[in-house]
């Protein structure tokens, strides 16, 4: 057996999972493809002690601290498949030999599937966002838009007036009922039923009727997709949520496949959002406790 644990994913969740295992002197391998979910954002906000820090620098510092432990190995690459073996799991890395471990930790993250509006994807993370707590403050109470993608967009539309004057672009994706219209009116939200044709400039919304609406920030609720096929390949079950599928885990972060654990956005039902210190500390404790206990059990 080459490793005690292979962690697939080297962003915040994978790093947080690796640290207690390293301190337990477990031989671990982190496989990372370098595709952090927040790679489009320049700064991290709402992360205690790291507010305003470069998001990539936080991950780089975490990697540096983890690699200071001599039982930790790091591999830059993409895990393409995995299978159970007699003693654990075999993971295939694209263009490389397969590697084996007694346990797997899936910290693969998720992919945000954006509404199909020309020009929107190019502004994701710089002028188009999904979390007001991460990005709302910097808009300085300016002009804010909410682009509807489903009925769940109502939550954003009712929340965002705390950060600025809010316009709800329905875009033929959703029509509020009478009760919802009253709530939007009470919050001072302006409704825009004309579709967005495209986005230009910093954030200039060109409407289908030819009007141009200039905003300081645009928010939308994305669909989430687990970023790696590994969980499905090893037989993990998934939770179906309002925003997409996530890997099903118990309170100790164990998946439905014995010996496979999952953490981070890929294993959080609901809206994967701010990477907070409290969230990953609690998740790390549960994962460490269960995984350490399991590593002492031979099967």
Predicted local distance difference test score (pLDDT) of residue 159: 96
pTM of the model: 0.86
Output 73 or 279, whichever has higher pLDDT. 73
pLDDT at 150 over 80: yes
Mean pLDDT along residues 151-176: 95
Predicted local distance difference test score (pLDDT) of residue 36: 84
Give the Cα-Cα-Cα angle 137, 195, 165 (nearest 5 degrees). 25
Beta partners for 82? 91
pLDDT band at residue 292, thresholds of 50, 70 and 90? low
Give 35: exposed, middle or buried? Use CB within 10 Å, 0-12, 13-18, 19+: middle
Write the DSSP string, 243-272. TEEEE---TT-B-SSTTEEE-GGGG-SS--
Predicted local distance difference test score (pLDDT) of residue 197: 97
Residue 5: closest CA among 71, 69, 78, 51:
71
Tens of pLDDT, residues 95-149: 898 999 999 999 999 999 999 999 999 999 999 999 999 999 999 999 999 999 9
Q: What domains can you pick out in the chain, each with its CATH number? A: 3-112+222-295 (3.50.50.60), 115-220 (3.50.50.60)
Residues 6+ apart with CB under 8 A from 267: 106, 246, 247, 248, 249, 253, 255
Give me the residue label for tokens 């300016």.
Answer: 142
Mean pLDDT along residues 36-61: 86
Rounded distance between C-alpha atoms, residue 21 and residue 202, angstroms: 44
Rounded distance between C-alpha atoms, residue 131 and residue 242, angstroms: 16
């Amino acid at each position: 057996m080459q490793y005690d644990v292979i962690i697939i994913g080297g962003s915040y969740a994978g790093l947080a999972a690796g640290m207690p295992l390293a301190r337990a002197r477990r031989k671990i391998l982190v496989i990372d493809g370098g595709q952090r979910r927040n790679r489009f954002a320049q700064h991290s906000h709402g992360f205690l002690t790291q507010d305003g820090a470069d998001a990539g620098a936080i991950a780089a510092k975490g990697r540096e601290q983890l690699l200071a432990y001599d039982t930790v190995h790091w591999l830059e690459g993409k895990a393409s498949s995995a299978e159970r073996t007699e003693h654990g799991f075999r993971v295939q890395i694209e263009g490389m030999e397969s590697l084996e471990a007694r346990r797997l930790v899936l910290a693969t993250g998720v992919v945000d599937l954006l509404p199909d509006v020309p020009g929107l994807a190019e502004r994701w993370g710089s002028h188009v966002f999904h979390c007001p707590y991460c990005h709302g403050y910097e808009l300085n109470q300016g002009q804010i838009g909410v682009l509807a993608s489903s009925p769940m967009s109502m939550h954003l539309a009712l929340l965002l007036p705390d950060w600025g004057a809010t316009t709800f672009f329905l875009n033929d994706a959703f029509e509020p009922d009478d009760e919802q219209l009253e709530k939007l009116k009470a919050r001072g939200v302006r409704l825009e039923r004309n579709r967005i044709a495209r986005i230009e400039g910093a954030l200039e919304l060109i409407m289908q009727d030819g009007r141009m609406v200039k905003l300081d920030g645009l928010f939308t609720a994305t669909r989430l997709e687990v970023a790696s096929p590994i969980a499905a390949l090893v037989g993990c079950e998934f939770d179906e949520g309002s925003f997409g599928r996530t890997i099903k885990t118990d309170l100790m972060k164990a998946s439905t496949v014995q010996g496979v654990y999952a953490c981070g956005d890929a294993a959080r039902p609901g809206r994967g959002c701010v990477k907070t210190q409290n969230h990953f500390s609690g998740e790390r404790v549960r994962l460490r406790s269960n995984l350490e206990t399991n590593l002492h059990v031979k099967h």
